[in-house]
Structure 1
Amino acid sequence: MASGKWRNTALLVIDMQNDFILPGGPMHVGGAQAIVPNVIKAVEVARNRGIPIIWVVREHDPSGRDAELFRRHLYSPGKPKPTSKGSVGAELVDGLVIEEGDYKLVKTRFSAFFNTNLHSYLQSNGITSLVITGVQTPNCIRQTVFDAVAWNYQPVTIIVDATAAATPEIHTSNIFDMKNIGVITAMLEEWCESGH
C-alpha cells in the first residue's frame, strides 16, 4: 500500500482494450495507440508509489443484450461484436498487464461508476483521490470524471497525454471542460515528477 501523499490515491486505467486501441478495431479511437507508452509508464510509476491500480474494462455479452440500445446493432449476426467477454478484442492492449493485487472492474456503460461497485470499493479501501488514464476523453473518461466529482473525490487528476480521443480537438475541448469543474490536468512527466 502507498504511504504519505499517495496513501488515499488510486489509478484508473480505462478501456485500454484491443477493440478501442488497435487500428481496424470495431471501436477504434483515433488517438489511442499513441498513448499506450504513456499509460504503461503511468502504471509503472503507480506501482512504484504503491498506488492501487484499477483496470476498468468494457465486457459485453456476445449477443449485445447488455450494451446501450444505440449500440445493439453492432452485435448483429456477422458483425465483430466489440469487447465481447472472452474475445481478443476485450483483452488489454500489449504492454498492459493486470498483476496480483490489481483490481479489474467490468462496466457496460461509459461511466466506471454506473451500475458497478466502484464507489463502494474505493470507499472501503480508503481511496479519496483518483488519477485517470485511458480512452476515450468525451465518453468513458468524461463520464467517469464527472461522476467522481459528483461523489466528492478530491482531487481528481487526468493525465492529459495518457488519455485520448478520436481527434486532438475533441480531446482538448473535453480536457478544457473537465479542468473547469476543478479537475487537475497534468502531463505525464509533471505527474511523475511531483504528482498531484
Structure 2
Amino acid sequence: MAFDDKWKNTALLVIDMQKDFILPDGPMLVAGGQAIVPNLIKAVEVARQRGILVVWVVREHDPLGRDVELFRQELYSDGKPKPTSKGSVGAELVDGLVIKEEDYKLVKTRFSAFFATHLHSFLQGAGINSLVVTGVQTPNCIRQTVFDAVALDYQSVTVIVDATAAATPDIHIANLFDMRNIGVTTPTLQEWCKSDH
C-alpha cells in the first residue's frame, strides 16, 4: 500500500485508553472517556490509512505500587484494586482498540508520555516532527504530554477535540483553551480527517 509522503513525519499518540480509565466501573474512571471510543477507533483507522505511525501510550504500574506517584500510593495499599497494574485486565485497552504489529506501545508511569520514557528519542529516530494527540484525560496526561512536546520543539502539535476527554466538558474546554494559547491546533475528528496536514 502506497502512503502519502506528507504524513510520514507524523505520529498519532493514543493515551491511556485503558479499561481502568474508560469503563464505568473503572477505579480511575474519566467520565467523558467512554463517549470518545468510537472517535478513537476512527482516528486510528484514518492514521493507518495515511501511513501515520500509531503510538499507544499506556500507564502500567508495578502491582505493589512502587512506581506510582506519591499521591496515588494509597490506591495500591492492601485490599484495594490495583489500578492499571501490569498484566491486569484494567490495564488492557478498551474493546475496539487494537495494537497492530506496525504500531508502537510505550509504557509510562507519570502524566507525560515524555517523562522518564524514551518516547522523544524513539520519535526522533523515526523522523517524527508532528504529533496528533488523542485519549484521556485532558488536564493531566494530554496536557502534560502536549506541553512537553511543545517544549521539545515538535513542529506541529494537534489535539483532536472530540477524540480527547476529561471528567467534565468544562475542564476539557478550559484545557483546550490553554493548549491553543501555546500554538496547539484543535480540530474536530471530522476536520482532521478532511485536512491534508
With the length of structure 1 as denominator, give the TM-score of the two structures.
0.98
Secondary structure in 1 aligned to 2:186?
strand
Distance 1:102 1:4 in 2: 18
| Structure 2 unaligned residues grouped into runs of 5+ | none
- The corresponding residue for 2:191 is 190
Q: Give the deviation of 1:195 after TM superposition.
A: 4.1
How far apart are the structure 2 equivalents of 1:161 and 1:5?
24
- Partner Cα distance (1:115, 1:161) in 2: 28
Correspondence list, 1:10-29, <5 A: 10-29=11-30
CA apart distance, 1:2:
4.6
Q: Deviations over 1:97-151 (max 9, x none)?
A: 0001110000000000000000000000100000000000000000000000000
Matched residues in 1 for 2:30 and 2:155: separation? Answer: 28
Aligned length: 196
Cα distance in structure 1, aligned partners of 2:181 and 2:101: 36
Q: Does 1:161 align with 2:162?
A: yes
Aligned to 2:96: 95
Partner of 1:33: 34
TM-score by structure 2 length?
A: 0.98
Q: Report deviation, 1:3.
A: 3.4
1:146-181 alpha-carbon deviations (Å, 9 max, x no partner): 000000002100000000000000000000000000
Partner residue, 1:108: 109
Distance 1:45 1:105 in 2: 21
Query: What stretches of structure 1 move > 4 A for 4+ residues in a row?
Result: none
Q: CA offset at residue 5 of structure 1? A: 1.6
- The structure-2 alpha-carbon separation of the partners of 1:94 and 1:158, relative to structure 1 and needing over 3 Å to count, comes to same
